[in-house]
Amino acid sequence: MKLTVVGCSGSFPSAESACSSYLVEADGFRLLLDMGNGALGELQRHCGLYDLDAIFLSHLHADHCIDMCAYFVARYYRHDGGRCAPIPVYGPEGTEHRLTTAYADTPTASSMSEVFDFHTVKPSTFEIGPFTVHTERVRHPVEAYGIRIEHGGKSLAYSGDTGVSEALDALARDSDLFLCEAAFTHGKESIPDLHLTGREAGETAARAGARRLVLTHIPPWTDAEVNLRDAREVFGGPVELAAPRVTYEI
Ligand SMILES: [Zn+2]
Ligand SMILES: [Zn+2]
């Protein structure tokens, strides 16, 4: 598996990064995890506009899904003629309605479902292309999922947005790479069931026995180096900060 960080800024874009979006590739199949603000532009650095095979949306906060509106335009009004065939989009209950109303507040003749094949995510195990994926409900103010992706005996776990959660521990169990949000800073911000601190991300990785931890979703107003240091204090494995355009071979 190859993981590319398309965007990793938490909650809103930074000068350096779009919001959450990660490209996972194997066997020529491209699965995009989340498509937050600015992700569609960045994505085109890594693959063609129409080269995605499936999209997974962890939850329906704008910083994880809002560029789907722009991607709808690109697929529906395709400039070189013809509408794009629907690609699978996996998201929480209500994803189509959420994206449709975000796109336009008046009914239009165009329909998201003509270019997106929506699938409702529940906690389960299923196949997306060559990947076996496992989804779990995580702790966040809206219905939100973490995902574990397995391919060729390797595993990648992605937290989405979450507070401390046993389900997240299970997703990250013995993972080769654990991509975990660390939006909050230990000792500064503590709101249950919203986000993890760097320390909590490190503790989760340690409990789960993850082999490598990549911290992501750190907002521009937060000192990422502090969250990195806090994670390293409690997790003995390699820890680093996600950065746009960085790739990992898993
Ligand atoms: Zn978020
Ligand atoms: Zn969120």
DSSP lists the bridge partners of residue 133 as 126, 149
**Do residues 243 and 217 touch, judged by C-beta distance below 8 A?**
no
pLDDT tens profile 51-68: 999 999 999 999 999 999
Q: Does domain 2-249 have CATH number 3.60.15.10?
A: yes
H/E segment holding residue 218: none
Select from 137, 59, 121, 48 the least CA-distant residue to 88: 121
pLDDT tens profile 27-50: 999 999 999 999 999 999 999 999
**Helix axes 198-208 and 224-234, enclosed angle (nearest 10):** 30
Q: Which ligand is nearest to the CA of 141?
A: 2
Domain boundaries in the chain?
2-249
SS3 9: strand
Q: What angle do CA 163, 169, 171 make, to 5 degrees?
A: 105
Q: How far is CA 152 from CA 2, 26, 100, 208, in A?
A: 12, 9, 36, 20
The C-alpha atoms of residue 89 and residue 80 are separated, in whole angstroms, by: 23
pLDDT class of 80 with cuts at 50, 70, 90: confident
Predicted TM-score of the model (pTM): 0.97
**How remote is the CA of residue 2 from the centroid of ligand 2, in Å?**
25
**How remote is the CA of residue 88 from the centroid of ligand 2, in Å?**
22
**How remote is the CA of residue 19 from the centroid of ligand 2, in Å?**
11
Q: Which ligand is nearest to the CA of 13?
A: 1
